[in-house]
Structure 1
Amino acid sequence: KPDAEQLYGQRILLFSYGSGLASSMYSLVCRKVQESRFTLTQLQKSIRRARHILDHERIELAPDLIDKLLTEREKNDHQVPFVPSQPIGILKPGDIYLKSIDKNHRRFYEKFHADDTSMNKNTDIPQLYTQYFQDHQINGST
């Protein structure tokens, strides 16, 4: 794990696999800049945080659940006013989520604050979505 000083002048390859269906790859050359809001140290911190999330917080869902999620998202695309109805049991304290979209297409977000009754670390996310789709009679695209 090189520190920022060791990376100056080096080319770094960045890759994002996205959802698994699409990906992107690009490179950058590390340069020392005197005054910038974007620094190599900040990039390293963000990458460490993202890696932690990928290693410890990623949720595996079956393809049929993903299909239903995407079908519902497509159905609601550009619908206004709109208030999402999906379960918030997947949110963690500090997560920012879409609260609503008004008739003028303005999006409103809130920061999730969990209490002991709304947050359960042992929540079975696939089961939570399966129940949600059953309750709302949502089918996939097939």
Structure 2
Amino acid sequence: MEQVLLVVHLLIALGLIGVILLQRSEGGALGIGGGGGGSGNLFSARGVGNALTRTTAYLAVGFFITSIALTVLATRGGSNSVIDSLTPPAATGGQQAPADGSGNAPLPNLAPAPAAPAQPQVPVNP
């Protein structure tokens, strides 16, 4: 179901791109409906503009609906995260869990604490 909806979503997106590119620009130099909208045409220049505008609106609504449907399907399908499929590493010797059962083991002291310097590190003028 999700794959079918994804294919429909992609087709709507491609159709939306195509319809937007066919529309007349603000400058009037590009697009369909050049010349005078004579009576021999199937659509006049105004009719083509209205049809493309309506088609754009319908495709935009379809795009939003399929986007929302894909989001709902993805969230209801359960967690398919890679992180959820990982198993925690097994505890190796040395560290044991505390007896209180909290699961928070103390961090080991890896390096000794540095001794306080006897003299200042930065030279001081007397």
TM-score by structure 2 length?
Answer: 0.26
More strand by percentage: 1
Q: Which has the higher contact order (CA 8 A, sep 6+)?
A: 2
Query: Which structure has the bigger radius of gyration?
Result: 2
